[in-house]
């Protein structure tokens, strides 16, 4: 299979205007991936699926990621004139990066027996109605997994044929896989609490009556 | 265990070929040896339940082989597996549809307390939050022998039930409920998260 750089170049040639970024993966897995822009995502997906050299006709897995807002601290050495003298001063700048939700697709080719090619799409923010284009029209196998991402992360997939919750009930309002989700506090009784469970169970403890009260008067 | 009959007299009569019993004894004997479980499984515990019903362990030896696919015909609900919050209302509804007298075995760690999923958001932390449980079997999953043990425990429990008097069996008390409210799907959790009339956890006293 051709490399990601080559795939990126061919996508750009086939889908004019598409913005593609390569996300490197320095871990031992060494599986870099492509970030595709939402506007051209459907065309890019169609190209990956139909291109005779790639024929990525099988989407094995779709999953979501929640990236929280984060701030990156940068330290830069700047030369400044202090008291008529030129000195090197370390300046710290803090950059705030807004969080977003991400959908990751793992693509393989049944025809050519190669893969995976990993593509990602990112929402603009983590708002309630964050949306992405659905790739279910291209890979039918993405249908249930996009529903799962909708259920657990709250990403709306535009163009999905049947976007409903799949695991939780329809009346449920939260998105449990988001990192800021807090589950309901239902640890009324916990015989052997530990760690986080212990902290939660403590809220339900009744204090032991003092020894004076227990003594018969 | 028939009350009012002297055991010595009873044994003497038996030697003469006269068998004396009581309605209560006969009634309990009949019911405990023909318990019809409800045929449903929720997770891996159900596989052990199936093994218990199959030839090697053979629950038929204890009179429990007639697994009924309808709650209307079942006496025993074996909650075999993880009860998710999405499934819990259906379990309670099935229990409500069973005819009295009815019994519940909570099989395995999940049905007792949520088990390994206790810290999750989507698993009910014990079916005893909504319906009364007669026998609990720990295990993940419990072996078929454990289910048979629970079954025998239930049989001895049935055998000790009284037909009359102050502490007679729950299904003979007109005030005792035989149906329990089905929880609703709420915005964040089941509502209510537990039925306070059924679920009375021990207060944890910590200094």
- What DSSP string runs through A106-147? EEEETTTTEEEEEEEEE-S-SSTT-EEE--TTT-TTHHHHHH
User: Closest to B193 (Cβ–Cβ): which among A186, A191, A205?
Assistant: A186
Say if residue B200 is preceded by a cis peptide, omega within 30 of 0. Answer: no
Given this model, what pLDDT does residue B1 score? 47
C-alpha to C-alpha distance for A54 and B46, rounded to whole angstroms: 45
> 0.90 cut: is pTM over it?
no
Q: Which of residues 137-196 of B touch A (CB under 8 A)?
A: 185-189, 193-194
User: Closest to A184 (Cβ–Cβ): which among B113, B118, B193?
Assistant: B193
Given this model, what pLDDT does residue A186 score? 79
Q: What tokens appear for A105 in the block?
A: 């697709």
Given this model, what pLDDT does residue B83 score? 95
Nearest by Cα to A117 from A51, A40, A50, A59: A59
User: Closest to B119 (Cβ–Cβ): which among A168, A197, A205?
Assistant: A197
C-alpha to C-alpha distance for A142 and A121, rounded to whole angstroms: 14
Residue B88: phi and psi, rounded to 5, are -55, -45
Kindly state the average pLDDT of the residues A98-110: 94
Interchain proximity A172–B188, CB inside 8 Å: yes
Best B85, B87, B121, B183 residue to mutate vs chain A (most A CBs within 10 Å): B121
Put the strands of the sheet holding B103-107 in their side by side order: B76-80, B103-107, B135-137
How far off is chain A from B188, nearest CA to CA, in Å? Answer: 6
Q: Which of residues 151-170 of A touch B (CB under 8 A)?
A: 167-170
Q: Which residue has the tokens 């693509």?
A: A107
Cβ-Cβ contacts under 8 Å for B204 (sequence gap 6 or more): A189, A190, A201, A204, A205, A206
Q: Where are the domains of chain A?
A: 4-214
pLDDT at A62 over 50: yes
How far off is chain A from B44, nearest CA to CA, in Å? Answer: 19
Interchain proximity A172–B206, CB inside 8 Å: no
C-alpha to C-alpha distance for A88 and A73, rounded to whole angstroms: 19
Interchain proximity A207–B122, CB inside 8 Å: no
Residue of A nearest to B121 (CA): A183
Kindly state the average pLDDT of the residues B77-92: 95
Between A144-153, A183-192, B175-184, the lowest mean confidence (pLDDT) is in: A183-192
Interchain proximity A197–B118, CB inside 8 Å: yes
Interchain proximity A188–B202, CB inside 8 Å: no
Interchain proximity B121–A181, CB inside 8 Å: yes
How far off is chain B from A184, nearest CA to CA, in Å? Answer: 7
Residue of A nearest to B88 (CA): A169
- Contact status, residue B100 vs residue B74, Cβ threshold 8 Å: no
CA dihedral over A171, A176, A177, A179, signed as positive or negative: positive
Q: Which residue has the tokens 């939660």?
A: A200
CATH superfamily for A4-214 is NADH:ubiquinone oxidoreductase Nqo5 subunit (3.30.460.80)
- CA-based radius of gyration for chain A: 25
Q: Which residue has the tokens 């309808």?
A: B70
Nearest by Cα to A177 from A98, A96, A103: A103
C-alpha to C-alpha distance for B34 and B50, rounded to whole angstroms: 18
Query: Across chain B, what does the average pLDDT equal?
Result: 91
Other C-beta atoms closer than 10 Å to the C-beta of A7 total 22
Domains of chain B: 7-159 (3.40.50.12280)
pLDDT band at residue A214 under the 50/70/90 scheme = low
Interchain proximity B204–A168, CB inside 8 Å: no
pLDDT digits (tens, 9 = 90+) for B134-185: 999 999 999 999 999 999 999 999 999 988 888 888 888 888 888 999 999 9
Residue of A nearest to B87 (CA): A169
Q: Percentage of chain A surpassing pLDDT 90?
A: 63
- Contact status, residue A170 vs residue B86, Cβ threshold 8 Å: no
Q: What tokens appear for B92 in the block?
A: 């309670």
Given this model, what pLDDT does residue A93 score? 84
Given this model, what pLDDT does residue A78 score? 79
Best B183, B193, B204 residue to mutate vs chain A (most A CBs within 10 Å): B204
B202 and A CB contact within 8 Å: yes
Angle between helices B144-159 and B23-32 (to 10 degrees): 160
Measured in whole angstroms, the distance separating CA B163 from the mean position of its chain's CA atoms is: 19
Per the model's pLDDT, the better-predicted residue between B43 and A82 turns out to be B43
C-alpha to C-alpha distance for B130 and B84, rounded to whole angstroms: 13
How far off is chain B from A140, nearest CA to CA, in Å? Answer: 26
**DSSP reduced 3-state for B43:** coil
Query: Across chain A, what does the average pLDDT equal?
Result: 88
Given this model, what pLDDT does residue B2 score? 47
Given this model, what pLDDT does residue A212 score? 62
pLDDT at B204 over 50: yes
User: Closest to A205 (Cβ–Cβ): which among B187, B199, B204?
Assistant: B204
Q: Which of residues 120-139 of B touch A (CB under 8 A)?
A: 120-122, 125
Other C-beta atoms closer than 10 Å to the C-beta of B37 total 23
pLDDT band at residue A76 under the 50/70/90 scheme = confident
Interchain proximity B206–A184, CB inside 8 Å: no
- Contact status, residue A183 vs residue B120, Cβ threshold 8 Å: yes
Kindly state the average pLDDT of the residues B83-110: 94
How far off is chain B from A139, nearest CA to CA, in Å? Answer: 29
pLDDT band at residue A216 under the 50/70/90 scheme = low
Residue of A nearest to B201 (CA): A189
DSSP state of B60: G
Whole-Å CA distances, B133 to A159, B50, B111, B153, B180: 47, 21, 10, 13, 13
């Amino acid at each position: 299979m051709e490399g990601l750089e080559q795939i990126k170049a061919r996508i750009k040639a086939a889908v004019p205007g598409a913005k593609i970024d390569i996300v490197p993966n320095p871990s031992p897995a060494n599986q870099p991936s492509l970030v595709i822009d939402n506007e051209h995502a459907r065309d890019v997906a169609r190209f990956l699926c139909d291109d005779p050299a790639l024929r990525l006709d099988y989407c094995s897995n779709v999953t979501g990621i929640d990236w929280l807002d984060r701030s990156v601290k940068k330290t830069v050495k700047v030369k400044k004139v202090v008291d008529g003298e030129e000195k090197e001063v370390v300046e710290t700048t803090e950059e705030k990066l807004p969080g977003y939700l991400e959908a990751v697709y793992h693509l393989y080719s049944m025809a050519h027996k190669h893969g995976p090619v990993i593509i990602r799409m990112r929402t603009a923010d983590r708002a309630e109605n964050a949306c992405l284009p659905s790739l279910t029209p291209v890979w039918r196998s993405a249908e249930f997994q996009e529903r799962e991402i909708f259920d657990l992360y709250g990403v709306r997939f535009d163009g999905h044929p049947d976007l409903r919750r799949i695991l939780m009930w329809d009346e449920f309002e939260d998105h449990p896989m988001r990192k800021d989700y807090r589950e309901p506090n239902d640890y009324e009784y916990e015989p052997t609490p530990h760690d986080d469970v212990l902290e939660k169970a403590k809220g339900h403890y009744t204090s032991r009556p003092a020894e004076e009260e227990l003594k018969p008067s | 265990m028939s009350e009012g009959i002297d055991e010595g007299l009873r044994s003497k009569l038996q030697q003469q070929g006269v068998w004396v019993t009581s309605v209560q004894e006969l009634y309990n004997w009949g019911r405990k040896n023909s318990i019809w479980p409800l045929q449903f499984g929720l997770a891996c515990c159900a596989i052990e339940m199936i093994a218990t019903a199959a030839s090697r362990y053979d629950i038929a030896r204890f009179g429990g082989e007639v697994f009924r696919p309808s709650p209307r015909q079942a006496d025993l609900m074996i909650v075999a597996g993880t009860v998710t919050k999405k499934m819990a209302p259906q379990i309670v509804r099935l229990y409500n549809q069973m005819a009295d007298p009815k019994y519940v075995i909570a099989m395995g760690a999940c049905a007792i307390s949520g088990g390994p999923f206790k810290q999750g958001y989507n698993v009910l932390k014990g079916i005893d939050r909504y319906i009364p449980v007669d026998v609990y079997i720990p295990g993940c999953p419990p072996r078929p022998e454990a289910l048979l043990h629970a079954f025998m425990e239930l049989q001895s429990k049935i055998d000790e039930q009284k037909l009359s008097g102050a502490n007679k069996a729950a299904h003979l008390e007109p005030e005792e409920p035989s149906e329990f409210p089905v929880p609703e799907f709420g915005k964040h959790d089941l509502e209510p998260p537990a039925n306070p009339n059924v679920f009375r956890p021990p207060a944890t006293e910590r200094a």
